[in-house]
Structure 1
């Protein structure tokens, strides 16, 4: 039996060993009447030569990191009549006229080199086939069910920037066609939705002059663990937790800004007047799932040492916070990208978050406590705790917040200095919040936070007693919080700040 041909292997830009695929199916074609421009030769120059159009001069560009790993035999097999050039020798007219042949795996293996160059070629080919008029609007990848997409779209519209939503899974395919006729001013992603792992769409949009930015609502290093190209380092990044900014800078990010969560009063607070009686006037309420969606698959294969977990449990008992950064230090993780190692720290923080949340809810169960969430709470909490099903965020939750005697918040340890929607929505709805003393509260005046924040779970009942419904002190504090949120911390405020940073106001 004949042996299968031995395939070449190379080390990619991110230090991974990859086999070089070969053949016509690995090539992409951007036709033109002029000379042939080869973007990436691949493992077999002689084989490629037989696939190129005949009778045309051939100009070739290859990634330096690729060429440096090729053998003498490979270099000797490059046809002598090919013209080897560098990317800075290309002008726009040459690209628009060229008959371009692209070795597609190069985009995955060396995205920093090929991403901008291939995007430039694709954009110039697009210009050759359409007018691509600039338009003042923003593209938002997402649906009504996606995190913060309705809020962001409404806020941008209120800031005078028309929005267009596209499905995140269709963005990579749709945007190149859209760019044939028009160029939006902004492509704004929440949690990198709509952007591909290798940055092809990002580079194409940038070549077209579109501003591209993403808002990392969740732990940014969890989000980055799914990317296979460093294009994020040059992109404007917005993070809800400012404590990540130094770490992102250490890993090469050059354009990072703090953008906390906010309230959406035009929709959320308006529904807080729902007259349905939920029977919560003397009860504390907690709203939340026992874990984020797809948690188990995201952390598949992750583990932490039992001793470290035991130390985290002791910290929780003392009212301390074994947060994401604590787990990074305990596990000795220094490089947070590329790769998935960072998820081990996230797994530890998420596990500790649940343990801490249960600890707080156990203390809160000394009061009449109602939990809105998944069925797992019934096995985690005492029978005395009333567990009700998950409720709709936009239609039912505002009235629950408004009617509850108190709403309890316990911030995830995945965000060391983060906040949650409850920090804004409860007050906007006219409710009263009691929360753990997260460092993220520093964006609010201390004279307000000091009355509602606890360090130890044992303090929850004391704060609730001090802030009983109907007491003048509580009512004054609630009104002060509501005024602050509605006048300084709405999504319209956040998007105006974002547009100012992006020079799109």
Structure 2
């Protein structure tokens, strides 16, 4: 294959060369560590969280592309990708494939991006339910890639603290302040604003994945108000608000079912507002993902999980992290979990919040059963669900598609 002066052969060696883009998102560290364990040559560019001027951005990318000569560029949730399409133009010039692994709803991200470099772009999504809708948006190369665990990071270090010990715990954001910020950004008209909680509740109780489509179908009297948002930024902010508000209400409903068991709630101060006046629970400020959680999870008899409403079928990070530490998890049912774990023997779930108290009571009184299930889940993770497995799968898909 003949290449121009600006291009080079791709996927010629047994292991690809990967240019990683990040702004300190947690998952990129796992991918970098997996590359090191797999002896995969890689270079990381950290754009940090600050705004970078266009000249600096282009200079950094040009240097990396022309000196490192990657087989493809990889990012998570499109982080490091500019909205104006400058990166896409550069990748097109050098004929470099691009991979973006979405571990949050891609439809709440992609709408504000231009020049998607579609011919050489592959999207990976942790939620298999997104595949058809992403293809409908013009992305031909879409793959399912679930989350996983890093067993070198999520292993107890023996640093448990007495304040962490609890019969049941929940680690998660209250979503209170996040929803308010998204609603402020959307600045919806008054009638839509007044109906927002009702819409969010109905969306959370539905099987629909897309809040905009759900609103148009189920609240036709508000369609004109919704479409009056006009800009992609405001529309996306409002759809994100609906998703996060639905999560807040669902998450609160589930947590309230645990209050008879003295739960420890770990997260932002929004929980103090949501549970104000409620007895029987303890609050702990947010913990460090890497430094604290591997020791925190084994400190609790039951680690409780209720999934964000941005995914109706996929499982979240906690489903892998908790058992990877050898700890027990009680989670809500998601369709895709049965492709990852054996129900009952490797994962325990509730189908409806009404089931929570009975399951908590049963498993608090069955320590040996909790231990067996946690050990079986950890064994499955080590065999099939580490980030080494995920990186191998991603690299094989990129080679098969663009090699």
Q: Which of 335, 345, 349 in structure 1 is aligned with 2:239?
A: 345
Give the 3 Å change call, closer, same or farther, for CA 423–374 of structure 1 in structure 2: same
Runs of 4+ displaced beyond 6 Å: none
Q: Which of 438, 448, 452 in structure 1 is aligned with 2:344?
A: 448
Instruction: Quote how far apart the aligned CAs of 1:255 are.
Output: 0.5
Richer in helix (by share) = 2
Length-normalised TM-score, structure 1: 0.66
> Which position in structure 1 is the counterpart of 2:288?
392
RMSD across aligned C-alpha pairs, in angstroms? 3.3
Instruction: Choose 1 or 2 for highest CA Rg.
Output: 1
Give the 3 Å change call, closer, same or farther, for CA 166–312 of structure 1 in structure 2: closer
> Which position in structure 2 is the counterpart of 1:116?
none
Q: Kindly indicate whether residue 398 of structure 2 is the aligned counterpart of residue 502 of structure 1.
A: yes
For the Cα contact (< 8 Å) 1:324–1:348, is it kept in 2?
Answer: no
The answer for unaligned runs of 5 or more in structure 2 is: 218-222
Q: Which of 165, 186, 198 in structure 2 is aligned with 1:301?
A: 186
Distance in 2, matches of 1:348 and 1:323, equals 12
Q: Which residues in structure 2 correspond to 1:405-444 (within 5 Å)? A: 405-444=301-340
Report which structure shows greater RCO (CA 8 Å, sep ≥6). Answer: 2
Distance in 1, matches of 2:61 and 2:196, equals 46
Q: Which residues in structure 2 correspond to 1:69-218 (within 5 Å)? A: 124=5, 137-143=17-23, 145-168=24-47, 169=52, 171-218=57-104
Tell me the secondary structure at the aligned position of residue 218 of structure 1.
coil
Give the 3 Å change call, closer, same or farther, for CA 202–502 of structure 1 in structure 2: same
Instruction: Quote how far apart the aligned CAs of 1:185 are.
Output: 1.9
Tell me the secondary structure at the aligned position of residue 323 of structure 2.
helix
Question: Deviation string for 1:32-62 (max 9, x for gaps)?
Answer: xxxxxxxxxxxxxxxxxxxxxxxxxxxxxxx
Give the 3 Å change call, closer, same or farther, for CA 240–233 of structure 1 in structure 2: farther
Distance in 2, matches of 1:306 and 1:293, equals 18
The answer for unaligned runs of 5 or more in structure 1 is: 1-91, 93-119
Distance in 2, matches of 1:495 and 1:451, equals 24
For the Cα contact (< 8 Å) 2:18–2:43, is it kept in 1?
Answer: yes
Tell me the secondary structure at the aligned position of residue 225 of structure 1.
helix
Distance in 2, matches of 1:321 and 1:165, equals 40
Q: Kindly indicate whether residue 129 of structure 2 is the aligned counterpart of residue 250 of structure 1.
A: no
For the Cα contact (< 8 Å) 1:287–1:373, is it kept in 2?
Answer: yes
Tell me the secondary structure at the aligned position of residue 210 of structure 2.
helix
Distance in 1, matches of 2:198 and 2:345, equals 31
Give the total of aligned pairs.
374
Length-normalised TM-score, structure 2: 0.82
Q: Which moved more, 1:223-232 or 1:208-217?
A: 223-232
Give the 3 Å change call, closer, same or farther, for CA 284–480 of structure 1 in structure 2: same
Tell me the secondary structure at the aligned position of residue 498 of structure 1.
helix
Question: Deviation string for 1:176-210 (max 9, x for gaps)?
Answer: 13334341222101111222223332232243243
